[in-house]
Structure formats: structure tokens, C-alpha cells
Amino acid sequence: MRIMLDHRILSRFHDRLKASTQGEHDWLEAFDLDAPRFSEAVAGIDVYVGSKLTPEDARRARRLRLVHVVGAGYDGIPLDALHPGVTVATTHHHGRSIAEHVLMSVLMLSRDVLGADRALRAGRWSNVAVDPALPFGTTLHGRRVGIIGFGETGTEVARLCQAVGLRVRAVRRDPSAPFPADLRPDWVGGDDRLPELLADSDVVVVTVPLSPATRGLIGPAELKAMGPEALLVNVARGPVVQEEALYEALGSGTIAGAALDVWWSGPPDAPSRLPFQDLPNVLMTPHHSGHTADTFAARATEIAENIDRLERGDALTNVVRAPSPGR
């Protein structure tokens, strides 16, 4: 098969991809192709491995059998533009990496690591021993974390938070769905319990995928419900949280702080049209919470296994869009 690899990060694991697939395939690295060359190449491929296609290129790929997204979110793939015979699959393996990032972020905000770092770099000692007006940091044991979304990432966040003594509660679309037996949340409820979760949590972690139902989910009313001591961590998608509402809440003290790993725009543009970088209570990271070698090595192996299944005619894993019947 002719396989297009259109993902700069996964290309660093190209040897693993090739070694893990059993067939002799023609691999094309496409992430550096200009638009005309990309469009010409996509017309002749059987498998696309990447995260974003234009509707025009999706329609042009008439030979295409499989779109394998490099991650859990497939909002960059125009499903309606693909011909009916195309399977779309995703991959995960990012939960532990993102969960560690969440825990790190909560600790940094709880101890004002950013402020202490800035002060010491400027030659000032900023701690309660030299400044009696400085507030104390807080430990995590016994505090309450509310998780919005309880899939792979949400459950891994819960596992790490639970390990350091945080009390966990969560909301999810289907509250009756099973979750790992080693987790002991205070409660797991449906989306209708979001107001309760916000009001009853010291830390709120957003892990839901972006969809019409979740776009703008956290706005002025939700941020106000969290309270002035609460922290927000967003590792989902930027637009799940309303941009202007969050900026105003952070600037006014409506909430205590936020850790943002996802934004409202991407490179080469600025992450936001608002100057979040000027706010001292924001931890800013460039959508890299899942970017560990463990995550992408496991993804490369799983994608290779699905390519082998496709060639053998076996059922694929993590399918989010199956071919139409008869195709």
C-alpha cells in the first residue's frame, strides 16, 4: 500500500512504524510538501496518517481506504468529504503523560512557582520568611478536584490526583459507564451535575473533546461558580472555555489561576487574541502535555498494527467512522 505520513512529531518514530508493519509498503513523508504537491500526492494514497485534511484533498483521495488520526481528536478530518469507503481510526496513549502535566500544573499554581521563579531571576527573595504579607502555598492532600470528562485522560488524572490525596469527583456524558476499579471518586455524575462539580471543587480539570455540545461550555457563569480560590486546568481544547470570559475572570480574581495547555489559535499565530501572558496567575504551555516519547512510541506501534489489520482484512481498533455498508 502507499501510505502518506503527514505528522511532524510521528515522523520521528518512522523507523518504528516501518518496523512494526508487516507488509512492504511505500511510505511518503508529506508534512513538508507544499499545497500543490500534497494535493497531487494525496490522490494516489491508500492510507493517510496525520491529523488534518482539507475538504478538497479529502475528496481528491479516491483511492483512500484508511485515515488514521495521530491522536484522539479527529476534528481536523472532514468526515463528510471522504468517500463512503474510508475508515477513520484514532489512537490514544496520552492519558498518563497529560495526567502528569496536570498534577505538575496544579502544584506549580498552588505554590506560586511562577511568581517565585520570576522574583528570584530578578534578584529578589520571595517567600514568607522575608515577606510577611506573602500568602502561604497550599498542599494538595484533602483538596477537591473536579474532572470534566472521564475518558482515558480524565481517569488517569483521577488516578494521579487520588495518589497524592486529592478527593476526586467527575462529570461525563454517560455517568453509568464503567471506570477503572482502582479509582475511588466521591461521585461521578452526568453533565447535568456540572454546576455542582464547579461549586464543590478546588481544582477543575477540563478533559472533554471539542464538539458542538462542549464548545463554550465554561463561560462567565461557570467561572463565577468556581469561586475566587479555585484553579482551572484546560488540557482539552481551547474553545471549550470561552476566551474573553476566562481572561476577565483571571484578571478580576473571579478565580485564583489557570493552567492552559490548549488555546484558541495555533502556530504561527499567537495562542490568543488577548494578552494572557501579562497575567501573573496563568501557567502557559504550548499544547505539549501529551508530547512524551512514551505517548508517540505507543501510537506508532498501534497505528502500524491497524495498517496490518487493514491489509489482512481484519477489524480495526479505535474506529470512529466505519465504511458504508457494501463498501
Q: What percent of the chain has pLDDT over 90?
A: 93
pLDDT, tens digit (0-9, with 9 covering 90-100), for 272-281: 999 999 999 9
Domain with 299, as residue range(s), is: 2-93+293-321
Average pLDDT (178-191) is: 96
pLDDT greater than 60 at residue 327:
no
In sequence order, the 6+-apart residues with CB closer than 8 A to the CB of 3 are 25, 26, 27, 28, 45, 46, 47, 48, 49, 307
Which band of pLDDT confidence, cut at 50, 70 and 90, is reported for residue 164?
Answer: very high
CA distances (Å), origin 252, targets 27, 155, 197, 225:
52, 32, 22, 14
- How far is it, in rounded angstroms, from Cα 160 to Cα 110? 16
53 and 193 part of one domain: no
Which has more confidence, 3 or 19?
3
176 and 65 part of one domain: no
CB-CB neighbours of 262 under 10 Å: 20
In sequence order, the 6+-apart residues with CB closer than 8 A to the CB of 315 are 309
236 and 141 part of one domain: yes
- How far is it, in rounded angstroms, from Cα 243 to Cα 25? 44
44 and 179 part of one domain: no
pLDDT greater than 70 at residue 326:
no
105 and 82 part of one domain: no
pLDDT, tens digit (0-9, with 9 covering 90-100), for 265-314: 999 999 999 999 999 999 999 999 999 999 999 999 999 999 999 999 99
pLDDT score for 130: 95
pLDDT greater than 90 at residue 73:
no
119 and 235 part of one domain: yes
Contacts 24+ apart (CB under 8 A), 177-184: 177/150, 179/150, 179/155, 180/155, 183/155, 183/158, 183/159
Identify any residues that bridge with 47 across adjacent strands, giving them in sequence order: 3, 66
19 and 81 part of one domain: yes
Average pLDDT (250-258) is: 98
155 and 38 part of one domain: no
Average pLDDT (63-88) is: 95
> Where residue 28 sits, what CATH number does that domain have?
3.40.50.720
53 and 192 part of one domain: no
- Cβ–Cβ < 8 Å for 205, 102: yes
pLDDT score for 41: 97
pLDDT score for 20: 78
Structural domain count, the chain? 2
257 and 130 part of one domain: yes
- Cβ–Cβ < 8 Å for 113, 309: no
pLDDT, tens digit (0-9, with 9 covering 90-100), for 40-65: 999 999 999 999 999 999 999 999 99
Average pLDDT, the chain: 96
208 and 297 part of one domain: no
Sheet holding 47-50, edge to edge: 26-29, 2-6, 47-50, 66-69, 87-89, 319-321
E strand or H helix that includes residue 118:
helix 113-121
Could you tell me if residue 327 is inside a domain?
no
